[in-house]
Amino acid sequence: MGLLEVKGINKRFGGLQALGDVNLSIEENTTHAIIGPNGAGKSTLLNVLVGKLIPDSGSVMFDGQSVLGRKPHEINQMGISRVFQTPEIFSDLTVFENVMIPCFAKRDGAFRMHAIESIFAERGIQEQADAILDDVNMLEKKDMIASSLSRGDKRRLEMAMCLVQDPKLLLLDEPTAGMARADTQNTISLLKEIREKRGITMAIIEHDMNVVFSLAERITVLAQGTPLVEDTPDNIKGHPKVREAYLGEAQV
């Protein structure tokens, strides 16, 4: 049984069947890519996994517990972290504060009334934050306001914020969308490093086939809200159904 088990998920938006009977199993300690043409339902699926959308039917089990009906922050506390297409960071706060917040969330849970303690006295949290910033090579930028970072740095900061929570599953929504080639390569190597060093299970939604084939160990192809095939990257490359979904029948 996989770390994440999705069974028979259906989701309709009015007349549109966004997800139709989706089954998906993400094994522990793998990088699983979900690809598909535009409108295939990738983002809808992701939003179901993090609790932003509630499906009409089906079940989502994570680590033996149901995810459905829980709020995003509860799902995060279960061990699922998410990286967004455009980095979601605390823009008005410093880089250091940005990584301290997930440290507190990890240690204290969804809410704690620590209104009198001083941040400056939280040595353990500060060391943790320093360590993760060092890991992503951003230690020298720790006092910068996050909004002034470059796009690539924002992405790395967001990644650091997710990693410092030590998630069991990291969801990445097009982590290289809109990036320059050099930044894309950096992100790929960063993700590879995370995968090898920390052994975090990852699920990636991505358009860029270069990224997909350099990272993924399993690939699921979605088309029109339904999984077409699930296989290893090598088998997916030449799969006729995949070419059909991407290129259209006429050209086969």
The pattern of x and - marking residues 57 through 96 that bind another protein according to CB under 8 A reads --------------xxxx-xx---xx-x---xxxxxxx--
Tokens of 176: 């290289």
- Binding segment for another protein (CB under 8 A), chosen from 28-36, 56-64, 116-124, 197-205, is 116-124
CB 96 within 8 A of CB 128: no
Binding-site size for another protein (CB under 8 A) equals 45
What whole-number distance in Å separates Cα of residue 196 and Cα of residue 188?
12
CB 224 within 8 A of CB 16: no
Comparing CB distances to another protein, the nearer of 77 and 224 is 77
The reply to whether 175 sits near another protein by the rule CB under 8 A is no
What b-and-e string marks burial along 57-89, b requiring 16 or more CB atoms within 10 Å of the CB?
A: ebebbbbeeebeebeeeebbeebbbbbbeebeb
Comparing CB distances to another protein, the nearer of 23 and 126 is 126
Min dist CB 113 to another protein, Å, is 6
The reply to whether 53 sits near another protein by the rule CB under 8 A is no
Question: What residues pair up with 223 in beta bridges, in sequence order?
Answer: 226
The reply to whether 229 sits near another protein by the rule CB under 8 A is no
Comparing CB distances to another protein, the nearer of 125 and 212 is 125
Min dist CB 136 to another protein, Å, is 17
CB 136 within 8 A of CB 159: yes
**In whole angstroms, how far apart are CA 231 and each of 209, 217, 219?**
15, 9, 6
What whole-number distance in Å separates Cα of residue 201 and Cα of residue 171?
9
Closest CA to 158 of 64, 95, 247, 246: 95
- Binding segment for another protein (CB under 8 A), chosen from 114-122, 196-204, 209-217, 232-240, is 114-122
Residues that bind another protein (CB under 8 A): 50, 71-74, 76-77, 81-82, 84, 88-94, 97, 100-102, 104-106, 108-122, 125, 143-145, 161, 165
